[in-house]
């Protein structure tokens, strides 16, 4: 698919997402939470996740519950050149806004260990678990560095696209949690 068509698809999906009501977001989050906890045990793990912005499918319920179970929660800080720094999140009350309107822990404690599960945001996903992000390449760079981590895409139903354009460098998700 030509890049301009890919950009048009991104724009269209983000516009649809921006129209979601808070009730729709909450219902989707509840469904995603249920799917997540059906797949994992509660024994402590390392979870890499995003803090949702701009009506992205929410991971906040998962984060809160995982913290209560003593899990290590790691969130990305976007840097230049498609790089991310991985920061330990100990609570959701001590955050500061970063580039692209994302949020990171104020303490900026860096995590460099192994990761068990990565919850991956996206603009669109395919039924075959392909992912189209925002176009910055951050997750395309990060995910191959953690081949043993489970990679789960977090998405709304309308973001599942039959003929999603994928490229050679795109990393397939192991599973999709659909709200």
Determine whether the annotation assigns residue 134 to a binding site.
yes
Q: Is residue 135 predicted with pLDDT exceeding 60? A: yes
3-state DSSP assignment of residue 25? helix
pLDDT tens digits, 50-90: 999 999 999 999 999 999 999 999 999 988 887 889 999 99
Classify 99 as helix, strand or coil. Answer: helix
Q: Is 51 annotated for ligand binding?
A: yes
Determine if residue 56 is labeled as part of a ligand binding site: yes
If one counts every other C-beta atom within 10 angstroms of the C-beta of residue 7, the result is 11
131 annotated binding-site participant: yes
Least confident of 16-25, 67-76, 137-146: 137-146
Query: Could you tell me whether strands 72-78 and 46-48 are parallel, antiparallel, or unpaired per DSSP bridges?
Result: parallel
Report the number of distinct structural domains present in the chain.
1
The CA distance from 56 to 44, in Å, is 26
Is 6 annotated to bind ligand?
Answer: yes
122 labelled binding-site residue: no
- Of the candidates 144, 134, 149, the one whose C-alpha atom is nearest the C-alpha of residue 168 is 144
The yes-or-no verdict on residue 35 having pLDDT over 70 is: yes
Q: Is 8 marked as a binding-site residue?
A: yes
What digits encode the pLDDT tens for the residues 106-123? Answer: 999 999 999 999 999 999
Q: Given a cut of 80, is residue 154 above it in pLDDT?
A: yes
CATH of residue 55: 3.40.50.10420
Q: Is 133 annotated as a binding residue?
A: yes
Residue 69 is assigned to a ligand binding site = no
Number of Cβ within a 10 Å radius of residue 11: 11
> Does the annotation flag 130 for ligand binding?
no
Range of the domain at 77: 3-178
Q: Are 63 and 73 a contacting pair, CB within 8 Å?
A: yes
Count of residues in the chain? 179
Query: The whole model's pTM is what?
Result: 0.92
């Amino acid at each position: 698919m030509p890049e301009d068509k890919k950009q048009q698809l991104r724009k269209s999906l983000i516009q649809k997402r921006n129209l979601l009501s808070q009730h729709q977001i909450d219902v989707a989050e509840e469904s995603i939470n249920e799917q997540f906890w059906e797949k994992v045990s509660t024994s402590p793990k390392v979870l890499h996740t995003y803090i949702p912005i701009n009506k992205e499918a929410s991971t906040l319920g998962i984060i809160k519950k995982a913290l209560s179970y003593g899990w290590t929660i790691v969130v990305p800080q976007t840097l230049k050149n498609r790089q991310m720094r991985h920061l330990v999140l100990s609570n959701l009350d001590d955050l500061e806004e970063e580039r692209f309107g994302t949020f990171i822990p104020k303490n900026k404690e860096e995590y460099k260990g192994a990761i068990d599960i990565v919850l991956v945001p996206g603009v669109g996903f395919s039924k075959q678990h392909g992912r189209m992000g925002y176009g910055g390449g951050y997750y395309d760079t990060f995910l191959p560095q953690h081949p043993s981590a489970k990679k789960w895409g977090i998405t709304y139903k309308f973001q599942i696209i039959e003929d999603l354009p994928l490229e050679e460098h795109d990393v397939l998700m192991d599973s999709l949690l659909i709200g």
